[in-house]
Chain A
Amino acid sequence: MDKRRNTEVTQNNAPIAEALDKHINNRVVRFDVPGHKGGRGDKELTDFFGERLLKIDVNSMKNLDNLSHPVSVIKDAQDLAAEAFGAKDCFFIVNGTTQAVQTMVMSACKAGDKIIMPRNVHKSAINSLVVCGAVPVYINPGINKRLGIALGMSVKDIEKAIEEHPDAKAILINNPTYYGICSDLEKIVEVAHKNNMLVLVDEAHGTHFYFGDNMPVSAMAAGADMAAVSIHKTGGSLTQSSILLCGESVDDNFVDYVRQIISLTQSTSASYLLMASLDIARKSLSLYGKEMFKKTVEFAEYARGEINKLGGYYAYDEEIIDGDAVFNFDKTKLSINTRDIGLAGIEVYDILRDEYGIQIEFGDLGNILAIISAGDRYMEIERLISALAEIKRIYSKDPVGMFDHDYINPEVIVAPQKAFYSSKKSVPIHESSGKISGEFIMAYPPGIPVLAPGEKITDEIISYVDYAKEKGSLLMGTQDMDVENINVVVEE
């Protein structure tokens, strides 16, 4: 493939979007898929989505390039994104950041290879172990007792894991975490590279690190080998669109291998809506990102100050930085601990939606998280603050009896792939203690597994599941949709 960059396009261009515009204006007669033919085939569909959107919903063709083998406008758009993110190469991903994370793991590991990762990774990472057969070496992420949230990765813990597993192929890091906690990426990259391990960063919530001022260091700037970036989360593209970045440290051969791995799981009918949205979002980020994220931080800082004045809530900030497991904090995140008003985060999350018409990102047992972006206005921020004031006035309880959440250190008995594909039988959850789980249980959001395939089920895990259910958390992952029964590995 031609590696030369097209010098005719700059960050002011959006090559895919421009090509789509041109294509529509050419009024090409459609004898290809999609069958709705620009919306003419279904009036209801057109009325619902709007004519323009359906006209743009086209399939790959010569003048629009092909995501599986990009040579023209998609290549240009990916190259511009690589340039904007300071990466060697960039792949547009249309099957969610889940696919980007799975591609990283599957590119770095083959069956039986070890990979070091914190246990509080997104389920997509552990799912990739089920698919490719790699074996996890989990690092206990540590817990902030006051907040009940998992922290970043401590360099010391990583060094220890490397010493014990020098044959591991890669380290996967969650940076920032959903709550905005960052690890010492630069140091981790240094340690990993010294030991010939790849550094893969799940940067799903970190798009803004590449564009804002005074942000924690981004994966590419820290020298990581690969990063999965959910542009749709804080970067403004459409839901499910994402990018996968390769750093300067990887060679061309590896980049081509990554493309092959992507094509194992990526749709061959990649949506032009998603790709054009990535293209336009990258352009906006390049041109206006600094300003956008300045505004975002201002909103978040204001909200934190006002919420902390309400009392009973703790909207945390840089004071939780400890130079190790909390190496840095992402100030755009509005994470609020709700313990002192005697309500679980998930309860506040539900009340906000059901009583006040305010949808926030998630609530866990002790915290809620509101996503703030440049798209917000002070009016909505005021509504959130005022609703929290009302919830405290009307619903607050004595905090006694709140679950003292601790990190549940999993005991991995069998590799995830082996456990998932072994003979299993379904047993009631309450009778499963001591058995090996054959599937996942997770509370969603944030989608971090409570239990993964191959791990030993304990009384502690069962009581955590009960408590999360009681507080209204949405549990999922088991074959049994009600999460009453669990598939356990039949031991021979």
Chain B
Amino acid sequence: MFHQWKNTYRLAALLLTLCANTAYAQLNIFACEPEWAALTRTLAGDAANVYSATTAQQDPHHIQARPSLIAKVRRADLLVCTGAELEVGWLPLLLRKSGNAKIQAGQAGYFMATDHVSLLEKPAVLDRSLGDIHAAGNPHIHLDPYRVQQVAEALAITLTTIDPANQKNYRENLQNFNLEWRNAISQWQKQSDKLRGKRIVVSHNNWVYLEHWLGLERLAVLEPRPGIPPNSKYLAKVLAQLEQNPADMILHASYQNDRPALWLSQKTGLPVVGLDFSPSNKNSLIQWFDGVLNQLLRAES
């Protein structure tokens, strides 16, 4: 009997040490999208173990609350997501199922990027007949480098709050990031001068911050309403509109269905630019922005 108890006790102790070990390791950070994973990696460096819930090939509006994601949120010390209802179809469920107090809404470990910048296209009327619109405004802010910089500043503060021991590390990383980012911005600004005023057609209205930054003019969206795929009648209407008022290129995100864009390209001869909507697993934000601009410039020339 005594031996049995002793064994149980040993097992419990072993389990506890295992748990404790994981608790003392690096910060576990759960990023909803790859852009925030990349930014967090830059700011936290070795102090954190960053996991991205999605890839650039996945539509962040439509992710399933998979068991693997619940398990990741369970162990997270910090959540870095877009917010503004982008993840409304899956994140609340992950939070409720996680049993994790640190990352619940309102806690220090709950970081929503859109809480720290202003949003464009806040709808005046909320009606689903207008499609799947976001009440807080367009959430795809990561395509504007100025807003990314604001998010970086806020994120560095959050990192310091939840992990004060590494404060110096986070401050230095932020300073380095700011320096590199400013240089990159002025370089991108110069590079992208010839894109200013270019007229584009987009698959889904998720490029608004890029349009705003680069001075692109959006002529048409290949969805009759946000989130509603086009039918042939609608595409014919867009085609007629473009014959009157021609565009320079068609943009669509890597995770979107490219059929409507390819169809329109065939009819009009416009180049289709399939852009990675988010950085890939290994890329930094700067590398990703470079890639996006290069793709746009190539299509333009």
Q: Do A and B make up one complex?
A: no
- Residues in chain A within 8 A of chain B (CB atoms): none
- Residues in chain B within 8 A of chain A (CB atoms): none
